[in-house]
Chain A
Amino acid sequence: MLTSTVLAMTHAGYVAAGWIATVGLLGGYAAATIRKGRRLSQVVPPEERRWT
C-alpha cells in the first residue's frame, strides 16, 4: 500500500530516496552502535557497566 502510494506521487523517486536515506543511515548507525556495544560488553567486567 505504501509503495503504491509513493509511486503515485509527483517526484516519487526523490521522496523515496530522501526517506530511504534517512531510515537507512539512522538504522545502520543504530545497528552498528548496538553491535559495538555488545562486543565491548564482553570485554569489560559487569561492575564497570553502570547501567546493568
Chain B
Amino acid sequence: MTTTPTEASPAAAPATSTASPLTRVLGALSAVGVVLVGWLGLVASPPDVVQQDSVRLIYVHVPAVTWMYVAVFLCAFASFMWLRKRTDGWDVLAASAAEIATILTGLGLVTGAVWGRPTWGVYWVWDARLTSTAILFVLLLGYQALRRYPAEPQARSRMAAVLGLLLVPNAAIVHYSVDWWRGLHQDATVSKIDVSIEGLMLFTLAVSFIVMGVVCAWLLVHRFRVGWLERRAERHHLDAALADRRADADPSAGVAVGGPR
C-alpha cells in the first residue's frame, strides 16, 4: 500500500488508503486462498460421474450464493440497527453489505447460467430458484439506485433501511424455493446431514466456502471504510461550502476565513 508522508509528521505518516494490518492479513489470506481453490477446483479434484468437468463450476457458484445470503442478512441486521440507533456506522455497514450482496447475487446468476447450459441444456429456465434469485437481484439493484438517489440523507437512509429489511423474506423464498416448488434446480447439496458429495470434491467445496468468506470479509472492511470516508468527505465539503457562504455574507470575515474574492 502506498503512503504519502505529511509535512507535519513525516516519520509517522498516516496511510492514504483504506488498508490496515487487519486488511493486509485478510488480503494475503485471500490471495493464497484463491490460488489454492484454483488448484483444487481446476486441477486436483476429480470430474463428476454425471456432470463431468462442469462440476468445477460448483466450487465458485455455491460459495458465492451462500455468502450472498450472509451479506443480505448482514444488510438487514445493520438496517434494523440503524432504524434503532440512527448512527452512521450502521448505515454504512448496511450499504456495504448490500453492495457485496449485489455482486454475489449477480455472480451466482452468471455462474449458475454457465453451469446450467452443459448440465440442463439451457442457460436459463423460469424455475422457482432462478426466478426468485433474479427478483432478489432486481431488488438489490433497486437498493443501489436508492442509495445513489439525490435526496436528504436521513430520508434516503430510512428508505434504504426499510428496503434492506424487505430483502430478508425474498432471501428466505430463494433458499426454500427448491423445497416449496418442484423445479429444475437441484435440492440443497450440503445443508443436509447426508451430503451428496464426498472425498476431495467435498474438501474442495469446503475450502472454497472458507476462501470466499475471507474474500468477502476483506471486501466488506474496505467497502465500509470507503463508505465512511464518503460521509466524512461530504461533511467536509458541506462545511467548506458553509464557510464560503458566511465569508460572502460578511466581507470582513471573508478576508480572515476564505481570503479576498
A binds B: yes
Interface residues of A (CB under 8 A from B): 1-2, 5-6, 9-12, 14-15, 17-19, 21-23, 25-26, 29-30, 33-34, 36-38, 40-46, 48-52
List 11 contacting pairs A-B, 8 Å CB cutoff, sorted by A. A1-B43, A9-B47, A9-B53, A14-B54, A18-B56, A19-B41, A26-B103, A34-B19, A37-B17, A51-B225, A52-B15
- B76 close to A (CB within 8 Å): no
- B139 close to A (CB within 8 Å): no
* Closest partner residue, chain A, to B6 (CB atom): A46
Which chain B residues border A5 with CB–CB below 8 Å?
Answer: 42-43
Structural contact, A26 and B219, CB atoms closer than 8 A: yes
Closest chain-B Cβ to A9's Cβ sits at a distance in Å of: 4
Within 8 A of A (CB), among B12-53: 14-20, 22, 34, 38, 41-43, 47, 52-53
Partner of B14, one of A9, A12, A14, A52: A52
On whether A11 and B225 interact (CB within 8 A), knowing A19-B38, A30-B219, A37-B17, the answer reads: no
Q: How large is the interface on B (under 10, 10 to 19, 20 to 34, 35 or more residues)?
A: 35 or more
- What 9 A-B pairs are tightest by C-beta distance, nearest first? A37-B18, A46-B14, A40-B229, A9-B53, A51-B20, A11-B118, A52-B14, A18-B57, A22-B60
Structural contact, A52 and B215, CB atoms closer than 8 A: no
Structural contact, B103 and A38, CB atoms closer than 8 A: no
- B164 close to A (CB within 8 Å): no
Structural contact, B222 and A30, CB atoms closer than 8 A: yes
Q: How far is the CA of A25 from the CA of B68 in the complex (A)?
A: 14
**Cβ contacts B64-100/A at 8 Å (1 or 0 each):** 1000000000000000000000000000000000000
Partner of A21, one of B6, B34, B114, B226: B114
